[in-house]
Structure 1
Amino acid sequence: MTQTPDTRPPDTPTTTDAAPSGMAEIIDTVRTIAVALAAAVAIQTVAFQPFTIPSASMEPGLVVGDYLVVSKFAYGWSRASLPFNPPLPSGRLFEHLPNRGDVVVFRRPSNLQETWIKRVIGLPGDTVSVSGGAVTVNGQALSQRALGPGLDLDAPARPVEQVEERQVDGRAYITFDAGHGLEGDDRPARIVPEGQLFVMGDHRDNSLDSRWSGDVGVGLLPVTNVVGRAELVVASWKPGASLWKPWTWFNLRPGRIAHRIR
């Protein structure tokens, strides 16, 4: 019996190789996507995580629509730093306390599913009081300097005054004051317990913070609830922008791109 010679070029694949080759490409694609997702999750868990500003309590430094980056390694890691706040032991790995004046993102003690942002005013052991809107820490009033009228983007018709507040170490930032005799303007002296922080919003008359009990505002903030330190506003979108409205994606505030958080 005469055998018919195979006239195909030596590198030509047979039809039986097509299916395994196509499957290999699919597996490679899935593997690449999985590695990329794992890297993104690892970066957000260990190093940096993006957040958006949902309220006006940190005006004028941070406004609704700001998209900012939070450093997770600034204070070490706790279960609050991890996605979904898993039920791990309390405490922080490589713990570093925040500095007074730091802007921190944290899980609200009364509802761990809510992520809030405020400024650290008092550390464990500090005595904090508020009188006539002026903050005193350990018997020393934080210096304030009036800068004139400001614009409350959350309620443009509400008159506010810009006030530069300065920490004892010289760190300065701008706060909003909506007038005298308002509810949060006076609070008696309070010693911050071990493992807790006293936090306030920069929009002093539009912030539910440590001046209020935990069922209304923040109350005293456990250090373990801190997610990280707010570092940089990457970009900021004007009101009305939405992921589901592509024509609004470039409706940006140019002056707030790469804006360092004070």
Structure 2
Amino acid sequence: MLRELDEKTGDGSPRPPPGQPYRRTLFGWVRFIVSLAILAILVRSLVIAPFNIPSRSMTPTMLVGDYLFVAKWPYGYSRYSFPFAPEFIHGRIGNGRPDRGEIVVFRSPAVPASSYIKRVIGLPGDRVQMIAGELHLNGEAVARETAPVFAEPVDDAGTCASEPGSNSRLESADDGSLVCYTPRYRETLPGGRSYLVLDAGDSTADTTQEFIVPAGHYFLMGDDRDRSADSRFPAVPGGGIGFVPEENIIGRALVIFWSTDGSASWINPISWFSATRWDRIGSGF
């Protein structure tokens, strides 16, 4: 019996004589591919997963065209950690929970099939309010100081919110290209975590009611405060996200592994390199 097993490979096919190459059987290839697929699902579900930035709501921290890895293990696991969100999983498995200031990927309460990315501002029990464009937490204004203005290239004047009431301004660079300049501030939350936000001007969410975060939920906001549909708005399809249940949180933003400005063309391989924003690759949060 031992000799019989030794003369066969792991997939049951005969082992070739010494000096002859091994050829995997069809069954062996199927088992190999299935094993890789299971391993990929486990890694994506339990360890790390890719995510791309489709909108500007997290500008200036993240830009459209950034690709990042999301860490799954810091907050434990819920049904949304796994493909197809199996309904037999309830709540969260594990004790880790997000802290104020961390950037998380989550499923939208309004459209659970869609994944969003925002910054954690309010924890369960916190009171959150915007007053004249400034963030208040538990009755106190969050520390905010002026930072260097944010300059971003734009394709046309319409993409820079420079109309009356806006804080942004549009200028032409020496080469004739258009640049949009927007005021930028550094906020520092209780506990010391700080980050940069944009203030593009007056918006409907510059002054809000006071929100009290329910147990088991989080209040999330984008860093581009005037162009982010976040917890300041009700959770409706095509609108805001409201309070986000903790089971909807998928993981924590970890590091940017690729970034492109969108100018690449599939038929022009040289443009793949010229469109890459090399300075953003490797940036963490």
Q: TM-score range by the shorter chain?
A: 0.7 to 0.9
CA shift, 1:148, in A, is 3.4
- C-alpha distance in structure 2 between counterparts of 1:44 and 1:241, whole Å: 28
Aligned twin of 1:114: 114
The 1:135/1:83 distance shift into structure 2, 3 A limit, reads same
Counterpart residue identity of residue 53, structure 2? I
The 1:82/1:63 distance shift into structure 2, 3 A limit, reads same
CA shift, 1:236, in A, is 0.5
Counterpart residue identity of residue 99, structure 1? D
Counterpart residue identity of residue 161, structure 1? P
The alignment partner of 2:225 has SS state of coil
1:48-197 equivalence runs, <5 A: 48-152=48-152, 157-158=160-161, 159=168, 160-179=182-201, 181-197=202-218
1:241-260 equivalence runs, <5 A: 241=264, 247=269, 248-250=271-273, 251-260=275-284
CA shift, 1:150, in A, is 1.0
CA RMSD of aligned residues (A): 2.1
The 1:32/1:94 distance shift into structure 2, 3 A limit, reads same
Is 1:214 the counterpart of 2:235 in the alignment?
A: yes
Structure 1, 137-146 or 42-51: larger mean CA deviation: 137-146
Counterpart residue identity of residue 212, structure 1? F
- C-alpha distance in structure 2 between counterparts of 1:156 and 1:205, whole Å: 14
The 1:129/1:25 distance shift into structure 2, 3 A limit, reads same
- C-alpha distance in structure 2 between counterparts of 1:83 and 1:260, whole Å: 26
Percent identity of the aligned residues?
A: 38
Aligned twin of 1:225: 248
The 1:152/1:185 distance shift into structure 2, 3 A limit, reads farther
The alignment partner of 1:136 has SS state of strand
Counterpart residue identity of residue 139, structure 1? G
Structure 1, 86-95 or 222-231: larger mean CA deviation: 86-95
Is 1:198 the counterpart of 2:219 in the alignment?
A: yes
- Quick check: which has more Rg, 1 or 2? 1
The alignment partner of 1:185 has SS state of coil
Counterpart residue identity of residue 187, structure 1? T
- Equivalent pair of 1:74/1:229 in contact (CA under 8 Å): yes
- C-alpha distance in structure 2 between counterparts of 1:246 and 1:73, whole Å: 39
The answer for unaligned runs of 5 or more in structure 1 is: 1-16
Tell me the alpha carbon deviations over residues 7-28 of structure 1, each in whole angstroms, 9 at most, x when there is no partner: xxxxxxxxxx9xxx99843333
Tell me the alpha carbon deviations over residues 120-164 of structure 1, each in whole angstroms, 9 at most, x when there is no partner: 000001111110111111122211111132135677633221111
Aligned twin of 1:239: 262
CA shift, 1:32, in A, is 2.3
- Equivalent pair of 1:85/1:112 in contact (CA under 8 Å): no
- Equivalent pair of 1:49/1:69 in contact (CA under 8 Å): yes
- C-alpha distance in structure 1 between counterparts of 2:153 and 2:76, whole Å: 34
Counterpart residue identity of residue 167, structure 1? L
Counterpart residue identity of residue 105, structure 1? V
